[in-house]
Structure 1
C-alpha cells in the first residue's frame, strides 16, 4: 500500500521543484556548528533542540523534540530562501486558527533538505511518509549531504528547521473540521507546521541532550500515511511558489 502511494508522489514532486535543482553559491569551507531552539506552532505543544555540524556540504544533524503525536509520521526539513524566520499567530491571514504551510512559507521558505531516516534527502522526499520519524518523543541523528544553496543559507542565516504534523484537538490522530490548504480532502492537522527554529551559528559545538537514534518507528503510524501522501505534491509546490513570490517582492522593493 505504501509503495503504491509513495512512488507516484516522488515522481510528481520532482516536477514541482525545478527552482531547487539549480546550483547555488559555493558552500563555506570548514566545519561549523549551528543550533536551533524549536518553538511550538499551531498549539502543537511540540518543542525541542537541534544541532547541525556542517563541513562543506556534509551535515551531521541531531534533533531532540517532544510533544509530537505518537505513531504518526512527522515530516521534517531544512527550509531556506526566505526571511530565515518562524511564523507567528499573526501570520494566520485567513483567521481559521491555523498558520498553514502557505502562510508560513514567506517566513521560512522552500524545502531544501528532507530529513528522512533513510534514503533520499532531496526536496523530492518532502513527504516520504514511510521514511520520517513517528515518535512523539523524537530523537534523530543522521549525516547527509545538502546542496550548495542550502549550505550557503546556513552561513547567511536563512536556514530554518521545521517539523510538521499537529494533533491540535488531542484526538490521537490527524483529523478536524479545518481542512488543509494543500489539499481540501485532508485535515489541516496532517500538514501544518508543528515546531520551528531558525538555525544560528553556535559556539558550543554540543549535541542536544538525550540519546540520538536514527528516525524512530518508520513502520509505525500507517493509518496516517495515506492522508500525508496525498498532500505531498501540494506541499512542495506551495513551498516553491511561496519562495518565488517572496523574491519578487524583495526585487520590487529594491527597484
Structure 2
C-alpha cells in the first residue's frame, strides 16, 4: 500500500539548532500565512541553548494554532546529526501534497505559501518552486537588500548542469511525491546539502523547477548561521547583494 498524501496540505519543515534569538520571528511569520491548510514540523537537532523548550512554550502560548486545528509535530533528536539528517527526518514526517522548507532564522512573506501553491497547481509540470527573496542584517529587518544570483526558466537547468546554484533552498516548495521518489538530502556533502538536493530534483530538460520573481522570503544574515562555517564571513556567494 502506497503512502497517500493529503491534497492541498503544505507540510512546513523547519530544522532548529541553537536558534533561540530568531524563533519568534520565524514562527510568527508562519502563523501569519494567508494559506490556512498547513502543518508545521519542527526538528530540533539536539540544541544546547534551550531552543526546543522555547519552541514548546511558544506553541503552547499561541492558542490560534490549537483553535484552528493545525497539525504540529515536534521532534527532538537525541543527538546532533547535522542539517541533512534533520531536514530529511522532517520530510519523512510530512503528510502534505506539498513540502515547504523554512529556515529557523529567516521569515516568510504572509502570502508565500498561498502564491507558491497557486503556482504549483497552475503548473503541474513543476516539481520544485523557489522564490525571489531579500537579505537583511540581523537587527535591521527594515533594511532589506535584493539579491542578484537567482535564475529563471531554462537558465536554471543550465546553471545546475555546470555545478552552479540558483535557487535559494529556504524558499523551496516541492511536491511531496518528489521526496517519495528520490529521498532527502545527502550527508556526504556537508555544507552543500541544499545544492545537491535541488540538483537531484532536476530532470533532463530542466523544465520541472522554477523560481518565482516575486519576493516572498527574507533571509537573515548573522554571525551564528551555519553557512558561515563553510563560506567565511563574506557569506555564501548565493546571498550576494548590492547596497
TM-score range, shorter chain: under 0.3
State TM-score, norm by structure 1.
0.26
Q: Which has the higher contact order (CA 8 A, sep 6+)?
A: 1
